[in-house]
Amino acid sequence: MSIKDSKTFCTAPWMHLHVINDGRAYPCCMTEIVDELSVGNVKTQSLETIMNSTKMKSMRKSMLGGEPLPDSCARCKGREDAGFSSMRIGMNDNWYSQVQDLVEKTKEDGTIDELRLLYWDIRFSNYCNLSCRTCSPIFSTSWTKDYIRLRAHDDKLETGLINLNDQPQFWEDLDKNISVAQEIHFAGGEPLLMPEHWKLIKFLEDNNRYETKLKYSTNATKLEIKGKNILEVWKKFKNVHLSLSIDGIEDVFQLTRHGGDWNETRKNLIKIRDSSVEYWIHPTISILNILSITELHKELFELDIIPNRILPSESESGYGPDDYFIKRFHINPCVTPDIYSIHNIPEDIKKIAEEKINVYAEKCYKEYGIPKSGWNSLINLMNSQKCNMDVFKRFVDTTKKLDKIRNQNFIAVQPLFKKYF
Ligand code: SF4
């Protein structure tokens, strides 16, 4: 068996890095953003130093030694245990062959002699037009005001604009390495609104690097930015993929993705559907929307935004039923922050959600042949831990305060929770 097929091996530590707006670096975006799991900081270290930091070396060493996945990989492991695919599997499928030589030449202590960052995930800033409930000021400038008023958090997060603009060494490093980058993932904040995103696009255009794959995690609320239509820009690139962060329709959308407008976003989704870019819907499923997730799927399915057919771009690469919950409706179950986790939903409400999802999944399967696997995995994950009522009480408390600050009403959107409020 090739090491690529081992359940405790991941290609990411050889060719990828996730850098967030305050400079902290992580093996990938699945690693929880806590100081203990950070592998370095681009504000004080070069990319080369970070890729051979003690933590990165130890990660590679333990993977090559067949040891269990490290703590930083808990989310991939959790997804796989619940029956979902994982970023680890995708990393191995998509990238291993391009770094096999690097893996084989890795030194005994985990050191690699070459910086081959094929896939970048750099969050240049937290600039964002929305303040989604499950997010925080670290990833959204729009959260600052509410965060200060909320004062529900014990920790004191940095607020305001956080970015990597004044880091000449980092930008030099990017400049040196961009020629090997095959894929760049833009996320945020809202990447389409960030000047740094446009700076990199200009660089790619000026250097005729239209082969570089562009990946985005976007809220799809704005496609026209300062007179530029991003759909027109994307036409020039060979490969563009969008992960569309949409958690609900109408009042659920307005509640979860605060600051966005459902009707405008719906129009944008239709424009994206009619463009040539690839995309998947990436709903974050939390306590806020678990009871409404089937309505989101239904609406997008009926609008053909989630097509139930093989697209021309997929006809050669092969598309099977197992791909539905990867390439169409890419479920992102929320487990942090804990107050929004699908684990910490009262058990009686979990039952109602489970029944509703099962009925809908059965209907989709019978009528359209849509597999049930993703729905089942979601239910499995939700039920894999009992609700912690102390955490749930914090959710109630925060929700009441946030409702007041935002002039919103969670109970009007999700009335089944009324008895707990
Ligand atoms: S196993 Fe998952 S969390 Fe760990 S480095 Fe790979 S992709 Fe990231």
Binned at pLDDT 50, 70 and 90, residue 318 comes out as confident
Pocket test residue of 14, 18, 73 for ligand 1, highest count of atoms within 8 A of CB:
73
CA terminus-to-terminus distance, the chain: 54
Query: Do 87 and 30 meet the contact criterion of CB atoms below 8 Å apart?
Result: yes
- Selection from 282, 287, 309, 303 nearest residue 370 by Cα: 309
Strands, E, within 276-330: which ranges?
A: 278-281, 284-285
d(CA 416, CA 404): 19
The residue ranking higher by pLDDT, 117 or 319, is 117
Contact between 410 and 286 under an 8 Å Cβ cutoff? The reply is no
User: pLDDT tens digit string along 360-383?
Assistant: 999 999 999 999 999 999 999 999
Average pLDDT rounded to a whole number, residues 123-146: 95
Which atom of ligand 1 lies closest to the CA of 13?
5
pLDDT of res. 154: 60
Q: What is the mean pLDDT of residues 260-280?
A: 97
Q: What is the mean pLDDT of residues 63-88?
A: 92
CB-ligand 1 contact for 291 (6 Å cutoff): no
Compute the distance between CA of residue 418 and CA of residue 349 in angstroms, rounded to an integer: 11
Query: What is the maximum alpha-carbon separation in the chain?
Result: 60
Mean pLDDT across the stretch 103-119? 97
Question: For ligand 1, is residue 399 a contact (CB within 6 Å)?
Answer: no
pTM over 0.85: yes
Could you tell me the distance, in angstroms and rounded to a whole number, from the CA of residue 29 to the centre of ligand 1?
Answer: 8
Q: How far is CA 327 from the centre of its chain?
A: 14
The rounded Å distance from CA 363 to ligand 1 centre is 34
Q: Report yes or no: 258 and 406 within 8 Å, Cβ to Cβ.
A: yes
Q: Check if 73 has its Cβ closer than 6 Å to any atom of ligand 1.
A: yes
Q: How far is CA 138 from CA 126, 143, 391, in A?
A: 6, 8, 22
For tokens 């009324």, what's the residue? 418
Quick one: average pLDDT of 115-130? 95
Residue with CA nearest ligand 1 atom 7: 88
Per-residue pLDDT tens for 192-220? 999 999 989 998 999 899 999 999 999 99
The CA R_g of the chain, rounded to the nearest whole Å, is 21
Q: Given a cut of 90, is residue 153 above it in pLDDT?
A: no
> Given this model, what pLDDT does residue 158 score?
82
Residue 233, classed as helix, strand or coil, is helix
Give the burial class of 200: count Cβ atoms within 10 A of its Cβ; 0-12 exposed, 13-18 middle, 19 or more buried: buried
CA angle 44, 134, 124 (to 5 degrees): 30
Residue type, 247: D
Q: What integer best gives the mean pLDDT of the chain?
A: 94
